[in-house]
Every structure is written in structure tokens, then in C-alpha cells.
Structure 1
Amino acid sequence: MLVYIDESGDAGFRLEQGSSPVFVAAMVLFADADDAAFTRRLIEGSAARRQHRGEFKFSKSRDIVRDQFFRAVAAAPFRLRAIVVEKSIIHSAYLRTDKDSFYEFFVKQMLRHDNDRLMNAKIIIDGSGDREFRQKLSTAIRRKVREGAVRDCRFSDSRNDPLIQLADMCAGAIARSFREDRQDRNRWRGMLGPRIDDIWRFQ
């Protein structure tokens, strides 16, 4: 099993200065390398790729590119699980002031509450953050997630990895669905509907 993880939003709590009110971590699950490779080909051969030559990021894509991207992966063999964190309910000073710990805590929560979907999974995460943080996160995931769920944790440069970009696009679509000020808020989450296993609103 291969699992690709990315997020939408940030770990900051200065909401009045532009921090996102919602943080979403999403994981895209593939049963095997063949399913992952097939999905990669769908993305690279899509109309979205002809419209958009750079890295696919939900926050930086035009609506037409988002539409074409999600149409391209509509029948792709993956499942999607996500955690949604509305920052207004977080009162822990530790999580509110330490961005690395915030990210690590909620990614682990998502992986732990997997409904036993993860089986000997190789986890691939967007390779942002410094080396010390990546090592700490990798160790925490391998040691603190359910036994047998994760066999390895690696990092990949999202600029060169369409499947990390898929996780970003999915996380962005879910985050948009929590924007009550946007008329299109459910547009792209709706296109992902058949692929969604669970979207967990953290309480």
C-alpha cells in the first residue's frame, strides 16, 4: 500500500493576520504501485496538464484547471481520508504555539483513526520542513501509529510528484468546502465524492 499526504492551510493561529481558520490534512491511499502508476498517468495525460504546466496546487489553480484535474482522476483507483481542524476549538497552548508539533499531532491523529485501512503502508509526505523535523515526524509516524499500519515513511518533493500534488488538490477541495463565504464551496469536494472514505472533523 502507498499513501500520499499533503495539507491545506497552515499551523498558525494569527487569524486576524491571515492564518487559515481551518487546517486540513489529507491522505490518498493506493492498494499497490500499479494503481499509483495508473493514477499518475491519468494526471500527466489530462486536459489539466495541457492547461497547467507547473505544479498542481489547489490554492494556485484556476477553476478550469481544478475542474479538469478532478474529472481526470474521477475513476482513478484511490481512496481519500482527511482530518479537518477548525482552529477555533483548539485551546492547547502547546499546539497553538509550536507549528511543527501542531502538524505532527494532527497527521498522527489522521493516521491513527484510519478505520484499519492502513496495512503495511509506505507513507510519502510532501518534503517541506527542515531535515530535523522530517526525521522527527518519520520516527513518530512509524512508532506511534497502530502496529502493522506503517512500514516506512519517506518524503518527496511535491514539485516533481503528481501524487503528492493529488493529495494537495484533495486537501484544498475539502478545505474549500468549509468556506461558508464561497458559493462554490462544495464544487470540487462533490467531484471527489466516490473516492472519499472519511472526512473527520476533529472535536
Structure 2
Amino acid sequence: MWIFLDDSGDCGMKLSGGSSSHLVMAACVFDDRDHVEHALELVEEARMNTAPGGERYRVAKEFKYSSTKSSHKDRFFTTMSAAEFRVRAIILDKRLLWSERLLENPSHLKNELIYQLMSSHYDTLEGAKLVIDGQDTRAFDISDRDHFMARVNLRAPGTLIDVEFADSKRNGLVQLADMTAGAIRRYHESGDSKAQTHVETFRHRAYQRNGGTYWHFK
């Protein structure tokens, strides 16, 4: 089992001073290596676009929801609909956060959301390798992978067998997690209709009956 994870939003609590109102953590879960390889092929397929004049061209930039061109997002989500994976997403509206511990230590928010996502899964995750953007280890507060694995496995034995830090620019499935998290946050923050359309392409993957989650954390 392979889990590719990324976030959208920040840990800041100055909601009227530039901090995002929402923080989203999204994990794309693959049960089989063949599914991983097929998804990587689809990411490459999503890079191929057609210009108005009919010329074919390849999108070379990293897929990031915050900066990817709208038409390229459409192409990405349409193409990835053919992949086989589950989505586990946790959505925090910081305006509703009640935990005194997290309110007093907002820098721990991302770590807490990852921990909850990985350990509260009702036996739907087992023997998984977790892949995270290596650029975000400080933000995620997971510089010590062994400590994080031990904490998760103490609560949910056998969940993780490895935590790997990858370069998102080179890892198409970390980019998939970014695009997933970004679409969810955009939709919940602003009700953006385009983001809603993107979310609808994978919302069924987050149904509990399919082994996913779409968890509004408070």
C-alpha cells in the first residue's frame, strides 16, 4: 500500500490578516503497485494539452492547484478519473477549532491532521508507505520519521512501514495529493464552482464505504 500526501492552506490563526480560513490535508491511497504505475502514466497523459490552434504541447511545470492554469486543472482531473485510488481528506475550518492545545500551538496543526488521518482509519490502512513532499517536512513537523511512525503505529498497529520524503517536482502522485487538497480547500473556502467540479471528480473516492474519508475536523 502506498499513500501520497500533501496539504493546502497554512497554520496561521490571523484569519483577518492573511491566514487561510481552512487547512486541508489529503492522502491518495493506492492498494497495488500496478495502480501506482497506472496513475503515474495518467499524470503524464494529463500533461499533454492541445492549443487553440490545434498544436499539441506538454505542460512541464509541477501540478499545483494554487498556480496551475484552469484549463490544465480541468484536463488533470478528467484524466485522473481513470486512476484507481482512494482519498482520505481532513478539512479544518479554523474558525471552528475548539482544541485549546492546538489554538495555543497552531504550528502543530499540520502534524496533528496527518496523525489523525493516518491513525483514525478503522483498519482501512495496513502496511503502508507514506510519501510526503520533502520540502514540507518542517511545516509538517515530521523531521523524525521513526518517531512519527511509532506514534501512528502505537494507536493503529501495523499502519505504516515507512515514511519517505520525496521531491514533489519529480513525484506526480504527490502532485495528485496537492491538486486534491487544493480543490477541496478552494471549494470550502469560497464555494468556487470550478473547484466544486474538480472535487466532484473524486468525491466518491472519499466515501467511507470505499475506504476513504471526507472528515470535517473541529
TM-score (norm 1): 0.90
Q: Out of 104-113 and 138-147, give the one that drifted further.
A: 138-147
Question: Which SS does the other structure have where 2:90 is aligned?
Answer: strand
Report the residue type matching 1:42 in the other structure.
Answer: L
The alignment yields a C-alpha RMSD, in angstroms, of 2.2
Report the residue type matching 1:160 in the other structure.
Answer: R
Q: What does residue range 78-97 of structure 1 map to in structure 2 within 5 Å?
A: 78-97=85-104
Question: Which SS does the other structure have where 2:76 is aligned?
Answer: helix
- CA displacement 1:109-133 (0-9 Å, x = unmatched): 1112223211100111111234994
Aligned counterparts of 1:95 and 1:48: Cα–Cα separation in 2 = 43
Structure 1 residue 173 corresponds to structure 2 residue 183? yes
1:75 Cα offset (Å): 1.4
Work out which of the residue numbers 170, 182, 194 in structure 1 matches 2:204. 194
Work out which of the residue numbers 116, 119, 130 in structure 2 matches 1:123. 130
Q: What does residue range 44-193 of structure 1 map to in structure 2 within 5 Å?
A: 44-47=44-47, 50=57, 52-127=59-134, 128-130=136-138, 133-136=141-144, 138-145=146-153, 146-193=156-203
- Which is higher, the Rg of structure 1 or of structure 2? 2
Report the residue type matching 1:174 in the other structure.
Answer: I
Runs of 4+ deviating beyond 6 Å: none
- Counterpart of 2:12 in structure 1 is 12
In 2, are the aligned partners of 1:51 and 1:65 still within 8 Å (CA)?
no
1:46 Cα offset (Å): 2.1
- CA displacement 1:7-52 (0-9 Å, x = unmatched): 0111111111211100000100011222111100111122557453
TM-aligned CA distance change 1:131 to 1:16, over 3 Å: closer
Report the residue type matching 1:151 in the other structure.
Answer: I
In 2, are the aligned partners of 1:142 and 1:152 still within 8 Å (CA)?
no
Question: Which SS does the other structure have where 2:82 is aligned?
Answer: coil
Aligned counterparts of 1:53 and 1:159: Cα–Cα separation in 2 = 10
Question: Which SS does the other structure have where 1:83 is aligned?
Answer: strand
TM-aligned CA distance change 1:58 to 1:77, over 3 Å: same
- Alignment length, in residue pairs? 203
Q: Out of 44-53 and 86-95, give the one that drifted further.
A: 44-53
Structure 1 residue runs without a partner (length 5+): none
Question: Which SS does the other structure have where 1:28 is aligned?
Answer: strand
Report the residue type matching 2:176 in the other structure.
Answer: L
TM-score (norm 2): 0.84
Report the residue type matching 2:143 in the other structure.
Answer: Q
TM-aligned CA distance change 1:172 to 1:29, over 3 Å: same
In 1, are the aligned partners of 2:149 and 2:161 still within 8 Å (CA)?
no
Question: Which SS does the other structure have where 2:144 is aligned?
Answer: helix
TM-aligned CA distance change 1:78 to 1:14, over 3 Å: same
